[in-house]
Amino acid sequence: MDQERQGAVLNISEYVTLGYSVFVPATPELEAHRERITEEIEKLIEVFDIDFGFIHPEYFLTSDNKLYFGEVAYRPPGFNALELIERAYGFNGYQGLVVAFDPKTTQEELDAFFPKEIVDAKGHAGCFGVYPRRRVVSRLEIPDETANHPYFEFHELSDPREQKVAKRSAFGAPCLSDGGRVAQSPTLQGLSASSCGAA
């Protein structure tokens, strides 16, 4: 948040279209709603009388183009969002939290630290979260097509026979990062246009 109680940086993540996922930067279709989302966030800043810091609001955009408030948290987002932001934009989101929460940070320091949304992105980064939809998960399978894909880097999925799944945490978070190459991959072009934001 800047000195005028405006957002210094606003990352918009789309995480319902593909189930539970976060992609940075957002798709052009979602970015088209930046102004509306910014207005709604500024209302939260005013209502909660926030002078500095960081908030993590969630909104739902319906198929008839209505924006509904979901929740707001005074904490970093989940699903590796800050790590993905760092990979896409090249700045450390955790350091950004420290800068934003310091009431002595000047406007010049904020402007120098945070990148400009979209235009300063060096590529795309994404993370898929997996929540089992069954009461019992008996095995873990990563399809070869996924494991061998050039944009697949790693997963944090645990074999259910080895570890109990925590009740309120994601079962895992496989990650993708394109280093700015999404548009060059015929395999991912459909994904990039609809979910990751075309490069």
pLDDT tens digits, 13-60:
776 655 677 888 988 888 899 999 999 999 998 998 888 888 889 888
pLDDT per position as a tens digit, 85-100: 999 999 998 999 999 8
> Interhelix angle for 81-89 vs 93-101, to 10°?
100
Dist. CA 109–CA 103, nearest whole Å: 12
pLDDT, position 135: 73
Domain ranges (residues) in the chain: 20-196
Q: How far apart are alpha carbons 45 and 184 in whole angstroms?
A: 40
Tokens of 108: 């010049």
Burial of residue 13 (number of CB atoms within 10 Å: 0-12, 13-18, 19+): buried
The total number of residues shown for the chain amounts to 199
What CATH class has 20-196? alpha beta
